Amino acid sequence: MNKKTIMISGVTTATILSILMASMFATNSMLIPNVALAQKSSNSSSATSTTKNSTSANAGFLTYENTTLGMKIQYPSNWTKQTSGRGVTFVIPLGKDNFLAKLNASALVGFPANMTLKQMADRVITSYRHFLPGFQMQSYTGNVTLAGNNNAVKVVYTFTDPKNNKFSGTDTATIKNNKLYVIQYYYYTKSPKQQAYSQTLQKMVDSFQNTR
């Protein structure tokens, strides 16, 4: 890709974009016949994270917590969890290395203090328009609530892969304690269970908490 993103000090727009899009393209790199998506990333573990049974009313949900990154989120017990140094990814398993929907929760540090959340979001969206085939903005909302912080932004959009398969994506981001928290999820829109997936993914976002 020819990334002509304007660079800024600290964590650049290009850096943020590469983190978001790397996971996105790993998701839709190949469509398995009917509904499944191929996933190629490998599992890794984090010594500072824990998974425990949820004590909430959400039966069948577990709680993931990373004390270093200061994040906690609930996820369905039958979804697969993958961790990295930046956060965690959850996918719906559908056979070996296949899934229909995916959620990434990441924490980034080092972005410039004079760069507002909206400015970062605007630049990432501009890059999406250039690099995501069939990108269509559905909504862009500021001052939404994430983890009790009402200074978050939420972007809803659709895009297609090289085989013209359509996906729906949602990015929600906020800044707290000098960290940029980004939760990104997307799912294959032709799945017969897309509405259920969308509701579950948003429920996961709503459960997200900052613990530091």
Q: For 176-205, what is each residue's pLDDT tens digit?
A: 888 889 999 989 888 888 999 999 999 999
Count Cβ atoms within 10 A of the Cβ of residue 128 and give its class: 0-12 exposed, 13-18 middle, 19 or more buried. buried
Type of residue numbered 76: P
> Is 3 domain-assigned?
no
Give the domain range for residue 159.
Answer: 13-210
* Residue 189 in domain: yes
Give per-residue pLDDT as tens, 128-183.
998 889 999 999 998 899 998 888 999 999 998 777 888 899 999 998 888 889 99
Is the residue at 6 inside a domain?
no
Give the domain CATH number at 152: 3.40.1000.10
More confident residue, 84 or 204: 204
- DSSP reduced 3-state for 190: coil
| pLDDT of 24 strictly over 70 | no
φ/ψ (deg, to 5) at 210: -90, 130
Domains held by the chain: number: 1
Predicted TM-score (pTM) of this structure: 0.77
Residue 118 within any structural domain of the chain: yes
Residue 93 pLDDT class (50, 70, 90 cuts): low
